[in-house]
Every structure is written in C-alpha cells, then in structure tokens.
C-alpha cells in the first residue's frame, strides 16, 4: 500500500449547491464509528504528532486547507488537504502532523473506532521502535 491514498467521494451537486456522500463500507473502506471536526485553527499552530496503533481514519478539508505530513517510518510525504470530496486515508502506524492551516480550515475526520487514548503513540522514538519491530515480524 502506498503511503498516500486518497478517497474520492461523489459530489452530487447541482445548481442549488454541492452534496457529497460518504457511506460506510462502500466508498469509505471501514465502518464509521466516530467523526470529529477541527476548526478555529491557527496557521502557525501545528497539531497531530502521533500515530494510531489500529485506528483507520479519513480526513477531508471540507473548507479551506492544511498540510499533512505522513511518515510510515521509512518514507515521509507532505500533502495538501483541501478538497471537500477528496479525503486522505490515515492508516494505522503512520505518524502524522498537520501544519499550515488556512484561517477558514474545517477538517472533517471519519474514524473506524471510538476514541481510545491507548491507541495513540505520541512519542516519535516509540513509534519508530514499534514500526521497526512490526517490519521484522512480517
């Protein structure tokens, strides 16, 4: 699987405006158990700086944009999230950091499970250790 995967949702917009649809286990490749949205951010205040052990997520920039640095321990890539119907897949064991939020940014995140702080790896050295251990066992 490549580090960067986008999920495209249909925009059923017409002259009245846009309408984008996400359906669990159809165009979203998991059962959605939770959604959250991030807004009121500041361009110079980054967020994230963690990986998840098992959680799968998809992040949509439903308004404005931000940059997301993705890092699987071997490769790093930064992408711009800024299309309301194009979400970035954040798989387990990918360290991610959000930077350069536009002032109007609203980030909508669909998640495969409920919030669980034990699923977070918030220390980068610990992340690298766990990633390298899992590579050795595959």
Q: Which of 6, 37, 39, 115 binds ligand T46 (CB under 6 A)?
A: 115
109 contacts ligand T46 (rule: CB under 6 A): yes
CA distance 121 to 94: 10
Give the shortest CB-36-to-ligand T46 separation in angstroms. 5
Catalytic residues: 50
Query: Smaller CB distance to ligand T46: residue 79 or 109?
Result: 109
Give the shortest CB-37-to-ligand T46 separation in angstroms. 10
Q: Which of residues 3-32 bind ligand T46 (CB under 6 A)?
A: none
How many other β-carbons are positioned within 10 Å of the β-carbon of residue 119?
15
Q: Which of 13, 21, 23, 36 binds ligand T46 (CB under 6 A)?
A: 36
Query: Edge-to-edge strands of the sheet including 6-8?
Result: 6-8, 86-90, 57-63, 106-111, 34-39
87 contacts ligand T46 (rule: CB under 6 A): no
- Give 5's contacts (C-beta < 8 A, 6+ positions apart): 88, 89, 91
Q: How are beta strands 86-90 and 34-39 bridged, if at all?
A: unpaired
The binding site for ligand T46 (CB under 6 A) comprises 34, 36, 38, 47-48, 57, 59, 90, 109, 115
């Amino acid at each position: 699987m490549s580090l960067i995967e986008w999920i495209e949702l249909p925009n059923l917009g017409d002259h009245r405006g846009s309408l984008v649809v996400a359906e669990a286990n159809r165009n979203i490749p998991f059962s959605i158990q939770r959604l959250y949205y991030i807004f009121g951010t500041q361009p110079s205040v980054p967020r994230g700086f963690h990986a998840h052990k098992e959680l799968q997520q998809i992040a949509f920039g439903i308004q404005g944009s931000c940059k997301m640095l993705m890092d699987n321990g071997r490769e790093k890539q930064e992408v711009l999230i800024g299309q309301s119907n194009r979400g970035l897949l954040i798989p387990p064991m990918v360290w991610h950091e959000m930077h350069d939020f536009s002032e109007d940014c609203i980030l909508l995140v669909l998640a495969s499970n409920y919030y669980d702080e034990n699923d977070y790896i918030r220390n980068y050295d610990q992340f690298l250790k766990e990633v390298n251990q899992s590579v050795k066992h595959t």
